[in-house]
Amino acid sequence: MTGKISEVLDMAEDVTVRTLIDELAEGYGYRFEQLCFIRPLYSDRDYANLCLNTLDLNIVKKFPKGLDTRLKEGDVVSFGVMGGAA
């Protein structure tokens, strides 16, 4: 999707996971943003298709704020597989 295996970003302080996705979507487009989320039919909550420091962001006990979790310097955000084989 992005053509990159990894990317290092300098972000402002107090940025959330949701803000990071918004920033990346500005560069990579709407399709990128849509692939970042899992929206189950049975829930109105947005679930992220990503891990924060190797942990699934959807683990409520670890990340009670979900997408509104604040990022800290050195955090690593890993996105799930986006797309398929061509």
**Residue ranges per structural domain of the chain:** 17-75
pLDDT of res. 7: 82
Residue 58 has pLDDT above 50, yes or no: yes
Mean pLDDT of the region 36-40? 74
Of the candidates 14, 15, 52, 13, the one whose C-alpha atom is nearest the C-alpha of residue 36 is 52
As a whole number, the mean pLDDT across the chain is: 83
Q: What tokens were used for 28? A: 């990579």
Q: How far apart are CA 34 and CA 31, in angstroms?
A: 5
Q: Could you tell me the pLDDT band of residue 43, with boundaries at 50, 70 and 90?
A: low
pLDDT of res. 48: 83
Q: How far apart are CA 25 and CA 53, in angstroms?
A: 21
Residue 75 has pLDDT above 90, yes or no: yes
**Residue with the larger pLDDT of the pair 49 and 4:** 49
